[in-house]
Structure 1
Amino acid sequence: MNEFYLEVKQDSDSVRLDRYLSQELPNLSRSRIQQLIEQSHVQLNDNICTSKKIAVKVGDRISIKIPDAQPLELQPEDIPLDILYEDDSLLIINKSAGLVVHPAPGHQDGTLVNAILAHCPNLPGIGGVQRPGIVHRLDKDTTGAIAIAKTEHAHQHLQAQLKAKTARREYLGIIYGVPKTESGTINLPIGRHPVDRKKMSVVPVEQGGRTAVTHWKVKERFGNYTLMHFQLETGRTHQIRVHSTHIGHPIVGDPIYSSGRSVGVNLPGQALHAWRLTLEHPVSGEWIEVTASVPEEFTTLLEVLRRRVSHP
């Protein structure tokens, strides 16, 4: 257990307790601090304080105890990882198709989180639990670069970058059909499908949809198929898949949004790959750019489509 002692200075007079502590202890998230207050781990002038809203005064003495992180109730599993970048704060991997990122009903093991627990047995913890910080997710059958925070500070920093849209997420995808222009932007809100709860769809904001913006440009055309470059401005569930389908160009091989169409190549899922990830390192401030190699099935599909065009 770690313990910190603080004395309130003039410039922090009348600031809420949780806000004051988040200013003084930037490695802890606001929600984690509020959790510690509620769990009686904070003392104000030698008395336990469970109110996060109380205003601190000049001269107040505050102590905060941070319990050791509790083990996550998941089993580490020795699943091979294709590591693109790693240090004490950050891990970036090239996710394979079929690998579920986070445990959920029906997928309690064999996930990326189980693999990371085995790869990083001494995680310092996020939110009081020894767990990796999944900052953004990739669908089960979407391949490519995904960043994982190892510390609470890195988790906060990466989440803030995504919110501020400074982190850059670029994808490659193969779609059915040929867009009429070379580039464009799809700005349509996305929410849960009103009938099929396994699907997402374009849903008006007033009906629960959330803002979703996808930028795209054509990289290569082959007959009735197109290799696309996508850049995400937001990160909604199934965003690229839903937006592509909505404009009449679903992702090839998508089992949910383009079922019934065959391209003659055995794909593990949709032909969508998180190709490049650019972000600011949460500690050094340096920019990191990683490129995830395209999976073999994606490359095979491209070769088949190119051959069809050159030898119709």
Structure 2
Amino acid sequence: MTGPVGTTPVGHTTLLVAEEDAGTRADAYVSVELGISRASAALLCSESNVVSNGRPLGKSKKVNAGDVLEITIPVRPDPLEIRVELVEDLKIIADDEDYVVIDKPVGVAAHPSPGWVGPTVVGALIAAGYRISTSGAAERQGIVHRLDVGTSGLMVVAKSERAYTALKRAFKERTPEKIYHAVVQGLPDPMKGTIDAPIGRHPGHDWKFAVIEDGRDSITHYEVLEAFGRASLVEVHLETGRTHQIRVHFSALRHPCVGDQTYGADPKLAASLGLTRQWLHAYKLGFPHPVTGEWVQYTSEYPLDLTQSLELLRDGQF
């Protein structure tokens, strides 16, 4: 990873690793010693700002007793500061007194996070003049659930404090209905089934997730809607909402989402379909109204890139 544009060294510190800290991961050690988040410490390591014995120290490397760590701390914008900017492709599906339902385009994050410098749902709604709940962490105003940057489709954002409380509780209790459509490689067998496999952080890659024995319970229901030979259109009902859940579960079945190269998809198939991201769309979202309790439900049409690739599959033109 390259360092942020415009950063200049404004701080320098030296740490001597004590005997009791030997064997600790570099990012964990730096995090504790400097009193910063693990993510911020990992970023310092990945930018070669942590040097041991004259060499940059990777975030996953273990420190040894007696090591002298030279740490340069650059000035940088607050990674969790909300960047207020309009997102032209972000559509408003419903504007209720207590919540707003949006159709999130690809390339937009739900909220600010370390390492992300692009647009966010929170910033776009504020820029458009929407009142957003201030409950929760400052950078996650109104956010009660999330979609990956590379996933398009429906999200509900709380406008009032009462809506935030009710919707957060509803998602925790798995009350909302979340239906996704995905195009996965090959043909899942059986064509209708449930994937019940725990998910946790990938043991070899901090930025990925995987099915692991001691992961969090994760349940995905699916049904094949159309089969095209090299790929299939599936409807997915999420019972749980783990990070990257659909992508991880179908990858574990060896049927990754088409275009999802992070989880093993064929880049040649994606290129032939004109895809630059995973074929995954939050198609339908239903939940109890946070004030009245009445069931409300919304649907989102596929965006252009997904529609065009699906037509190519249907026509056999790839």
Q: TM-score, normalised on structure 1?
A: 0.71
CA distance in 1, matches of 2:131, 2:100: 14
Q: 2:239 aligns with which of 210, 233, 236?
A: 233
Give the counterpart letter for 1:217 in structure 2: E
Q: For the structure 1 residues 156 and 122, does the alpha-carbon distance in structure 2 shift closer, same or farther, using more than 3 Å as the test?
A: closer
1:179 aligned counterpart, secondary structure: coil
Which 4+ runs in 1 deviate beyond 6 A?
none
Indicate if the aligned counterparts of 2:259 and 2:266 stay in contact, CA closer than 8 A.
no
Q: 2:172 aligns with which of 163, 166, 170?
A: 163
Q: 1:115 aligns with which of 113, 120, 124?
A: 124
State the Cα distance separating 1:88 from its structure 2 match: 1.9
Aligned to 1:184: 193
Indicate if the aligned counterparts of 1:75 and 1:117 stay in contact, CA closer than 8 A.
no
State the Cα distance separating 1:260 from its structure 2 match: 4.2
State the Cα distance separating 1:108 from its structure 2 match: 4.0
Greater shift, 136-145 or 74-83, is seen at 74-83
Higher RCO, 1 vs 2 (CA within 8 Å, ≥6 residues apart): 1
User: Does residue 242 of structure 1 match 2:242?
Assistant: no
Give the counterpart letter for 2:84 in structure 1: P
CA distance in 2, matches of 1:168, 1:128: 25
Indicate if the aligned counterparts of 1:116 and 1:132 stay in contact, CA closer than 8 A.
no
Q: For the structure 1 residues 77 and 243, does the alpha-carbon distance in structure 2 shift closer, same or farther, using more than 3 Å as the test?
A: same
Aligned to 2:291: 283
Indicate if the aligned counterparts of 2:258 and 2:266 stay in contact, CA closer than 8 A.
no
Give the counterpart letter for 1:182 in structure 2: M
Q: TM-score, normalised on structure 2?
A: 0.70
User: Does residue 175 of structure 1 match 2:184?
Assistant: yes
- After TM superposition, list the pairs within 5 Å mapping 1:135-174 onto structure 2: 135-174=144-183
Q: 1:210 aligns with which of 187, 207, 216?
A: 216
CA distance in 2, matches of 1:106, 1:251: 24
- After TM superposition, list the pairs within 5 Å mapping 1:196-207 onto structure 2: 196-205=205-214
Give the counterpart letter for 1:171 in structure 2: Y
- After TM superposition, list the pairs within 5 Å mapping 1:1-312 onto structure 2: 73-80=81-88, 81-123=90-132, 125-127=134-136, 132-205=141-214, 209-263=215-269, 264-308=272-316
Q: Which has the higher Rg, Structure 1 or Structure 2?
A: 1
Indicate if the aligned counterparts of 1:124 and 1:130 stay in contact, CA closer than 8 A.
no
CA distance in 1, matches of 2:137, 2:145: 20
Gaps of 5+ in 1: 1-71
State the Cα distance separating 1:76 from its structure 2 match: 2.0
Question: What are the superposed Cα offsets for residues 154-208 of structure 1, whole Å, 9 maximum, x if unpaired?
Answer: 1121122122222100000000011222210001110000011111000112xxx
CA distance in 1, matches of 2:166, 2:275: 36
The alignment-based identity, stated in percent, is: 40
1:165 aligned counterpart, secondary structure: coil
CA distance in 1, matches of 2:137, 2:196: 37
CA distance in 2, matches of 1:279, 1:177: 32
1:134 aligned counterpart, secondary structure: coil
2:194 aligned counterpart, secondary structure: strand
Gaps of 5+ in 2: 1-79
Aligned to 2:24: none
Give the counterpart letter for 1:145 in structure 2: L
Give the counterpart letter for 1:146 in structure 2: M
Aligned to 2:37: none
Greater shift, 187-196 or 109-118, is seen at 109-118
RMSD: 2.0
1:256 aligned counterpart, secondary structure: helix
